[in-house]
Amino acid sequence: MAVINSITPMNTHTMAVTTRINVGTTTTLLVCVLVFIGSTISVCNAQVAAAAAPAVYIFGDSLMDVGNNNYLPLSIAKADFPHNGVDFPTGEPTGRFSNGWNAADFLAKKIGLPTPPPYLSLIGGVAPPITGVSFASGGAGILNETGGLLFKQSIALAQQVEHFTMVHDKLVHQLGPSNAHIHLSRSIFPIVIGSNDLFAYFNLGSTVANQYTRQQYVDRMVSSFKGLLEALYGLGARKLVVAGVGAIGCCPVRRKANRTGECEVEINYWSTKYNDGLKMMLQGLKSESLGMNYAYFDTYGAMINLFQNHETYGFREIKEACCGLGNLNADVACIPLATYCANRNDHVFWDLYHPTEVVASLFSDILYSGSRQLMVPMNVEQLLTIIKASWLYRSIVTILVLANMVVSTSKSSLPEPDYHSRTESPISGKKKTAPPILLLKEVVSTSKSSLPEHDCHSRTESPISGKKKTAPPILLLKEEKESDSPALGDVKSDIIPSASVLKQLAIGVETTKVIKSIKDLMILSRDSSAVKDRSGLSLSAMKSFVVGEKEDKFVAEFGHDKKVMSFIHLLMDPEGHHSRRKAKSRLDTTTIATKFSKELHGAPPESFVPELAEAIGSLKTLKKMALFWSRVVLELRRLWCEGKHIPGIPPDEIPNLNSCLLHQQLQVINCCISRKRRRAIATESLDSVLKQANNKSVLPPPSGDILPESHLMYARISTGELVLRLGADKRLENTTLLDTGEPVYTPVMQEWPLLTEDIIKETEEFVLRTGSVGAGCSQLLSDMQAFKAANPGCILEDFVRWHSPPDWTDDESKEIIDGGMSPSRGHLSTRMQKEGNLWRELWETAKPIPAVRQSPLYYEDLSVEGILHGLENISPSGLFEQLFLSLLSSGCAIAEARISSNEILYKMFKECKDYIVLICQSKSWVEKAQDICQVYETMAVMALNPNKVIRLMNPPPDESTTKEKLWKTPSRNQENNTTTAQFSTMFSKKQPKPASISC
């Protein structure tokens, strides 16, 4: 293939030279070429028999998911628990929503390729295999709002396409642009999606049903799908396999609503309407896209045919799910508590929505070699024939060119690969506007070029000079005087955050409402006339800083902003900076700080977020704010990769839901760092135990002997055999196992997921919508497995006594044996004794596996990566709003701490504070940001100059007249408390807006 890419069309001189070749030489070459072609065709046929396409890249929903959702933190939309996978070769759940293999497995096998691995399993440095990757995710939809309630529960199609861009870029790096294009143009791209979008519309309580008519909704589905297919085409996809939506009204979950168990007519009707639009869209897209071919699978027609002729295909049950509980086994999903049928090959449906393995195999056969009745305009086998023909034709032309026997080649018969298809129309050759997702990718790539992601494997190279380093780089502050940072000349400005900084953040909130992300803000500010002359410097400065150019343009641009450079010092040297921060603390008590942080939903004073707010608020342009934020996220990524805690954030505290979301997310990052450290220690401890157990010099005594203290890592089970304890934490006092009398040890368990307010809300909505309890089952199963590993020979009753004491009742009488108490006897609670109890079901499936060897319930890497990705794409208005409230709460807390001892000032301060809290707790506080800034500025004056304010409030007798004029007291009868008069005006219904203050 590398030879093909080096070929160029022959010019006239080359053709002339070719014609002068003598007949003998020509004959010899011709014979050699024909022999070579024959051998090449034989080799080609052998290779095609093994794999007709070089790779398969799978997109879609749960019908094609091979385990991506296993790696989603907190996701409930999973199939990694029994009884899924009961017919899989290993007999264990794999993440497939099936009793065994699914359509993705069968299709890949027919093409001659292994099942592509889930994309999320490759995160962490694993290179994607050249034979393909699966991006499909259970619960995914075409429309992003379909996953609105499933955010971080499934991966929408747009996000799957974005994941593919990462694989695309790695292929280009690995194979080179030309070979990567050829590889992708010959690969197969199956896409099975759309059912969840229609379910979302027709489910009870659907919000989208109130926004769109049925026709508008299916039109949006088709239109959005087209844009995403155009994006895949722009990334090199040429051979598509697209499945329409099936007769989803015939799924058990929809049939159960009908007393007769018949299909739901309405949702089936709109499934066909969507499919009609999809087929027309695919036809139009093919005519617009050079080199594109597709195979469309009429899933709806195949399902109806199966229902009508099910006995012919060997099925007896077409309505009821094999696995589940209740009416049609569709009231409760296929969870460990449910039951499943023994005759699975007789059933069409495995669970509420998904087909059995045998149906998936049947439909894959139709996909591969079905007739035009169900496959339009061709099937997958015919699609592969096009790939074979194209490959063979290229090979023949290559051989002829190498032999100098081609006199002319028709360009029309072999079009060149459209390597520039992203920006040039394949029809007219003119420049065209890229699809929306491509425009977004260009924005992302532009941003990345100016600010590349931190490489977790390049810690030894300085981002400034490119030289080797032993410690994080420290930027040198320039000795130049600050010119555009407010209030830095005032020594007292460091006591309480400046009001001018707060005003800058308020301006940021108001002016960026229509901008979706920080990256968009960087692009817009770069192109705006106000900063156009300096934008190139900003972007190149960030780029040069990261890639290691000698001139530190970041310092050149931000060196005057002392708040900014101080904050960068804090990030780059968190350990050394911590003591200096503590020495300069502006707050003596945390009680006030906690109260303000809770009331305003901000962040604790002197923590990371308020200091960040001061740094960003000290900048004078949105462009600088956006660039600096991008730099901060880059540093956060570096700290995560190096396993260093974020300064100003507790190292191991669960998210404080009273704080802003940004503070919660930073808490999650620090917690994940601490958890990874603990896991490493636990792993080392377990390895040490295993190593000691393998040491013959420390083997336990023979069976029947009493175990000495040095051998407490072993436990004797009922057969007398000694079994190694794994993952034991500490001994539970005065408790022994019921069957063996061995002491009970509490196990080291997996830690609970870290929940921020947005994750909690989405999880609650998902549970209310689906009734799923999958995540809870996973946690309970994990605890059972850890308990079994730490306590060999234990039974369910032992676990319940430790894990849920209220469900165990001890017998009143206990026998005394050999001077000691016998193992406690008693009975389980009524709910635990019921037949089909979930705990007993899980206990029987649980295996003795220590926590550190179990599949994680919470993936720290994925969770933090999701947070960092979100911070890179955060809404600027949302960011500035959180910074504003955090800085406001911090400043108010510091001011209150300084004023609280002064009874006279504190009374007026409390009036100011109550006003700010009342306004900020309303949703429309942004409209009154100017008033908030005015009140805050007054509070700052009171905190910074309390004696001066008191003197003004209580002037000497000879200065009373001057005092009255200064404060413009409206009445002689009014008290000379002019500050109170000012506040009474400020908190009136018609509030003044001084021209000198602007937020």
Give the burial string for 273-288 (b: 16+ CB within 10 Å, else e): bbbebbbebbeebeee
Query: Residue 591: helix, strand or coil by DSSP?
Result: helix
CA distance 608 to 619: 17
CA distance 903 to 906: 5
Pairing of strands 293-297, 239-243: parallel
Query: Residue 468: helix, strand or coil by DSSP?
Result: strand
Catalytic pick among 62, 421, 877, 886: 62
- Cβ atoms of 594 and 604 within 8 Å: the answer is yes
Q: Cα dist. 883→68, 185, 501, 607, 663 in Å? A: 35, 47, 11, 12, 10
Catalytic pick among 351, 418, 520, 931: 351
Cis peptide before 377 (omega within 30 of 0): yes
Q: Is 195 a catalytic residue?
A: no
Pairing of strands 239-243, 347-349: unpaired
Give the closest residue to 717 by CA, choosing from 652, 788, 649.
788
- Reading the block at residue 926, the tokens are 């942004």
Q: Cα dist. 328→253, 303, 351 in Å? A: 8, 18, 10
CA distance 926 to 999: 10
Largest CA distance in the chain: 126
Residue with tokens 């009508």: 308
CB within 8 A of 371, min separation 6: which ones?
379
> DSSP states of 748-792 as a string?
P-PPPPP--HHHHHHHHHHHHHH---HHHHHHHHHHHHHHHHHST
- Cβ atoms of 69 and 156 within 8 Å: the answer is no
- Reading the block at residue 233, the tokens are 């085409």
Give the closest residue to 517 by CA, choosing from 920, 150, 145, 880.
880
CA distance 91 to 260: 35
CA distance 267 to 353: 14
Residue with tokens 């499936």: 845
CA distance 809 to 702: 36
- Reading the block at residue 595, the tokens are 């109260």
> DSSP states of 205-226 as a string?
T-SGGGTS-HHHHHHHHHHHHH
Residue with tokens 């005594």: 701
Give the burial string for 156-195 (b: 16+ CB within 10 Å, else e): bbbebbbbbbebbeebbeebeebbbbbbbbbbbbbbbbbb
Catalytic pick among 163, 181, 354, 645: 354
**DSSP E strand boundaries for 298-430:** 317-321, 323-324, 339-340, 347-349, 375-376
CB within 8 A of 282, min separation 6: which ones?
240, 242, 294, 296
CA atoms within 13 A of residue 666's CA, in its CB half-sphere: 23
Give me the amino acid identity at 640: W
Q: Is 65 a catalytic residue?
A: no
> Helices 157-175 and 436-450 meet at what angle, rounded to 10?
50
Q: Is 351 a catalytic residue?
A: yes
- Reading the block at residue 327, the tokens are 């009416």
Residue with tokens 């869209």: 281
- Cβ atoms of 399 and 40 within 8 Å: the answer is yes
Active site positions, annotated: 62, 351, 354
